[in-house]
Structures are given as structure tokens and as C-alpha cells.
């Protein structure tokens, strides 16, 4: 696949969880259709009943649309690249303990605000070893100290080159629903859509210490299209 190739479809698990099927909503995330449908329906009803008084409801529908938008992404094909799993801004690049694999690791954290796309994508080609969910609390995810107390979902991946990558979805102050579409044994390809976090959130990526970071704190990143590090 050439570097300029654009993914036209996404992947989503079947109801049985046996395999990943094509995900056919490349503009609006599947999770957003109920919310968008309700928002538009309410706006239409208010328009019919109250005319211009419906404008705030149409604005709300537009906000819902932009939150759940989910365009196709260009997937870099650089060997051993670790791609950003989320849109947002880099808030942490440091050496620390990975509590999910009990190792010292390079941690890179991406903070996603309410204006970013909230679909989460696989940073590497590999196999899911573990997918752990923790209900947690409702705390702002911008300070790094909030992560242990919040709703989290940690996915440990063995990359195709044998290295271990841990991706941790962390729910934010408003977000209260992390979705993860994969389980142990599933195969992932870089750029594949594997989860979704509603409203503010963060994704922590733990990498082997040998990884060379390609981003710094404060950098804006795009899911799949930004290379976080090279293994």
C-alpha cells in the first residue's frame, strides 16, 4: 500500500465478536447516529412549532455532528512507526512505569478535547493480548494524576515486530462512556478503528524504552496520520 492510500472503510466487530467487519460510516461515527438523529428530529419539530426559535436546536445538532464526525485517514507506511491513536494535543512524553505490563516504558499521552474527533485507532499492526476495562470516576483528564481514578480501558498489543504497545483510553470530566471494539486474540492493522470515547478524553501510549519519540509536549496530532514514535 502506498503512503498516499486512503482508507475508505473502517472496521467494527460483528455482534458475535468472532471477526472484524467493514465499518461503513466513514463520515459520521456509528456511535453518533442515535444522538444526531434525536438532535435533528427535535430541531425539525421545534422548527415546525416555533419557527426561528429552533435556531439553538439546529446549532446543537451541528455540534453533535462535528463531535461524531469520523473521516477516513491517510495511513503512513514507515517501517516500525507508532501512529497516534487519537486526535488532540500531546500532554506527556516521559519515562515511567507501565502499570498494565509491569515495565518501565516511554509514555506518550494525547489529550482530546470536545472539538476533536473521538474515534481511537490502532497505532501499529499487531495482535491484542489483553483488553482490560475499569469503571473509575469522573475526573478531568488533562492533569496526568487523574488517570488512575478515571474510567479506563487498556489494550495491550504485540506489534508485528514483537514489541509490546499499551494503549489506554481514559474518560474525561464529561465523558462517561469508553467504547472498545476489540478483545484478546483480535488482529489489528495500523489506522484501524478500535474504540471511541465520548466528549473529553485522553489516550496514553506506553512504548518500549528503545522507541524514539517524534513528538513533544504541546504538539497537535491527528489519529493515524501523525507518527508518535519509531520502534
Provide the grid cell at 36: 444526531
Rounded distance between C-alpha atoms, residue 56 and residue 72, angstroms: 30
CA distances for 31 relative to 63, 88, 122, 198, angstroms = 15, 20, 18, 9
Rounded distance between C-alpha atoms, residue 124 and residue 187, angstroms: 10
Q: Who contacts 65 (Cβ-Cβ below 8 Å, separation ≥6)?
A: 28, 32, 36
What are the φ and ψ backbone dihedral angles of 64, each rounded to 5 degrees? -60, -40
Give the residue among 198, 30, 194, 217 at the shortest CA–CA distance from 122: 194
Dmax (CA) for the chain in angstroms is 63
Spatial contact of 140 and 172, defined as CB atoms under 8 Å apart: yes
Give the residue among 60, 26, 27 at the shortest CA–CA distance from 43: 60
- Which sequence positions are flagged as catalytic? 201
Rounded distance between C-alpha atoms, residue 32 and residue 37, angstroms: 8
Amino acid at each position: 500500500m502506498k503512503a498516499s492510500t486512503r482508507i475508505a472503510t473502517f472496521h467494527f466487530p460483528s455482534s458475535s465478536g468472532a471477526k472484524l467487519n467493514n465499518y461503513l460510516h466513514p463520515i459520521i461515527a456509528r456511535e453518533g447516529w442515535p444522538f444526531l438523529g434525536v438532535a435533528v428530529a427535535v430541531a425539525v419539530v421545534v422548527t415546525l412549532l416555533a419557527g426561528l426559535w429552533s435556531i439553538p436546536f439546529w446549532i446543537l445538532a451541528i455540534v453533535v455532528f462535528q463531535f461524531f464526525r469520523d473521516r477516513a485517514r491517510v495511513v503512513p507506511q514507515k517501517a516500525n512507526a507508532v501512529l497516534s491513536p487519537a486526535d488532540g494535543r500531546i500532554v506527556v512524553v516521559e519515562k515511567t512505569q507501565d502499570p498494565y505490563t509491569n515495565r518501565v516504558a516511554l509514555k506518550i499521552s494525547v489529550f482530546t478535547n470536545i472539538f476533536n474527533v473521538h474515534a481511537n485507532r490502532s497505532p501499529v499492526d499487531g495482535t491484542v493480548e489483553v483488553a482490560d476495562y475499569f469503571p473509575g470516576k469522573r475526573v478531568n483528564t488533562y492533569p496526568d494524576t487523574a488517570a488512575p481514578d478515571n474510567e479506563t480501558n487498556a489494550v495491550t498489543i504485540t506489534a508485528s515486530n514483537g514489541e509490546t504497545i499499551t494503549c489506554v483510553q481514559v474518560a474525561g470530566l464529561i465523558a462517561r462512556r469508553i467504547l472498545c471494539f476489540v478483545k484478546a486474540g483480535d488482529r489489528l492493522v495500523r489506522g484501524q478503528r478500535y474504540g471511541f470515547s465520548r466528549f473529553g478524553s485522553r489516550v496514553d501510549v506506553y512504548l518500549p524504552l528503545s522507541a524514539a519519540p517524534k513528538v513533544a509536549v504541546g504538539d497537535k496530532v491527528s489519529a493515524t496520520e501523525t507518527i508518535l514514535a519509531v520502534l
